Structure 1
Amino acid sequence: MKLDIRQVIGGLFLLYGVILIAVGLIGGEAPNLWTGAAMAVFGGAFLAWARLKRI
């Protein structure tokens, strides 16, 4: 099965979002937390889009 670019983009956004959420929770900086949450949601949406279009 071919690798869809949406999977790569979604996975990277999700990974970086989770890292930023962790940094925001540990460091106590709100911009990292909110940016990480937005990136995680965006990455999850890309992964869901790739999965739904494959079916």
Structure 2
Amino acid sequence: MKDIRLVIGGLFLVYGVILIVAGVFGTPVNLWTGISMAVVGGVFLVWSRIRPI
């Protein structure tokens, strides 16, 4: 495990996808929250990849 951003990004992305699926078949709140979490997870993974720090 090289960086905590990788773990955080992966978890956000996984939970975001789960909420997107729940939002498609349920309440739209889950859909918007899932999209937001997936975007944040993607940003963390890209940030971990390019390593600006």
Length-normalised TM-score, structure 2: 0.92
Per-residue Cα deviation, 1:3-38 (whole angstroms, up to 9, x for no partner)? 2000000000000000000000012x1100000000
Aligned to 1:45: 43
Length-normalised TM-score, structure 1: 0.89
Q: 1:18 & 1:26 partners in 2: Cα distance? A: 13
- Mapping of residues 8-47 of structure 1, within 5 Å: 8-27=7-26, 29-47=27-45
The alignment yields a C-alpha RMSD, in angstroms, of 1.3
Aligned partner letter, 2:28: A
Aligned partner letter, 1:15: V
Task: State the number of aligned residues.
Answer: 52
Which blocks of at least 5 consecutive residues in structure 1 are unaligned? Answer: none
SS of residue in 2 equivalent to 1:3: coil
Which blocks of at least 5 consecutive residues in structure 2 are unaligned? Answer: none
